Amino acid sequence: MKFNVWDLAQDSFLDYCGAEKGLAKASLLAAEQDLARLRKWSEAAGIASPGVLQDTQLRDFLLEAANDLATSSRARLMSTLRSFYRFLIAEGMAVSDPTATIAIARKGRKLPVILSVEQVTRLIENLDGTRPRELRDRAILEILYGCGCRVSELCGIDVMDLDLNDDMLLLRGKGSKQRLVPVGQPAAEAVHEYLSSGRGHLLKSKLSAAVFLNHRGGRLSRVSVWSILKDAARAAQLPGEMSPHTLRHSYATHLLEGGADLRVVQELLGHADISTTEIYTHIDRTWLTEAWLEAHPRAR
């Protein structure tokens, strides 16, 4: 089979990423696509294996790839290739790293959009209905903001993951990593009301372990959660684009504003690297500056 060395290198690397690094499915798929792009280009250039790729050739590939990739995708591609060649060298499948001489331009971080406490309150309390879907939607918003979970984590919550007696929730994050997070009283009450008066109507005669269900009794999808949040934001007359991650960002920022330690916020969010959490300190400093400008007599 032509270029079978590529098959071995790719499959070995992806197995390593999944089994040992614990990458999530979406990250594995992205890495697979990045390597497929490199392989397609290399095959067209007559490069028989990744182990013989030279840095000058890699530069040509990256220049060509940059024509149809966004900045974030280019950064991800380079990150994949760096990890790929480190793995190949460690496994004896390459003797040199063509990525070593290529500098990566650091892209500035875009500060996430957050809501004020008043806006979050208006968003949630605007959902005050008693129909099954209204009870579900309010419980969803309470959990997204009250626990700071990702939308995929929310959709994956099973009934057995809830411990409302101790106000704790088990979440399954990226790479199947699990963490326990506290559930505040408003969220616990909203979930309890939904479970007792709403979920059974959505479940009908079906069986499901999922907490949050669609109108057919199946597990709610991420797309549906996005739609629920956008409808709620529109009904509450909140400006701008809204996503489930907006509530996660707001959760983290409000914790820091309230005096929570950065390491605590890191654990609650399920971030593997604290540098990911540190973006919220920039938001916190922005908030402090705004408060100072408004309050200090010599600020202006």
Instruction: Give me the active site residues, please.
Output: 150, 174, 245, 248, 271, 280
Q: Is the dihedral of CA 247, 251, 253, 258 positive or negative?
A: positive
Q: What are 215's two structure tokens?
A: 């109108």
C-alpha angle 261/262/264, rounded to 5°?
65
**169 CB burial (10 A radius; 0-12, 13-18, 19+):** buried
Lay out the sheet containing 178-182: strands in order across. 162-163, 168-172, 178-182
First to last CA, the chain: 72
3-class secondary-structure state, position 217: coil
What are the Cα distances from residue 68, in Å, to 40, 57, 62, 158, 181? 15, 18, 11, 40, 41
Q: What are 192's two structure tokens?
A: 């309890």
Give φ, ψ of 170 to 5 degrees. -90, 125
